[in-house]
Amino acid sequence: MNRLQVNHCRIQFIRSAPHGVSLIEMLVMISLISVIFTVGVTMLAFLMRVELQGTDRIHKSFNIQRLSKQFRQDIASARRASLISEKKQQRQKLKLDIGVDRFIIYSAGENSYGNFISREQIISDKLISRNEYPISEGQLHFRIENINQRQIASLQLKMTTDNSHENETVKMPYSTLQFDAVINRKYSYVINKEQ
């Protein structure tokens, strides 16, 4: 009986002995966790930056689409077009004669948020509406040509090349964008993209 109690106590002692972790194992685990955390944070920061650049590009493309559609509609409904140049600011304006005392004026501007193209609708020398299309930094040029007894108005945007992006898909695929439309003729327009 005494022998059984001794064996029983040994079994109890073996079962209740704590299993610990050595200091070296603990340091290895801490260093592995810190490496994984650093890689995760770096990847998250990179993905957030790429997502912001992609969103910015989508907004710019959307603004250019809106501008091209509105510009072509205005040119198609205009009776005449003329260029106005401001010598002080060295900027051009495109003035479209829509009807009796009705004009639409396109011009470039700049504010604290960046560059933009403005469209102003004027009736009897009163400003009725004003739209702004934010455009990335670049040069704006208007042109009016007479081809085959038709007057063609064009808006040309020269984009500055941006080499700050590591991701090729975020970069603008073109450097010059030009919208052409025939004055006073609907559905006669061309969009030219030049490299």
Nearest to 181 by CA among 67, 85, 68, 65: 68
Convert the pLDDT of each residue in 39-58 to its tens digit: 999 999 999 998 888 888 78
Q: How far, in Å, are 2, 97, 142, 153, 156 from residue 82 at the CA level? A: 117, 8, 10, 9, 16
Which residue in the block uniquely carries the two structure tokens 């941006």? Answer: 162
Question: pLDDT of 4-48, one tens digit each?
Answer: 555 555 555 555 556 677 889 899 999 999 999 999 999 999 999
Query: Which amino acid is residue 74, in one-letter code?
Result: D
pTM over 0.95? The answer is no
Q: Which two tokens mark 117?
A: 């193209």
Structure-token pair, residue 122:
């004027």
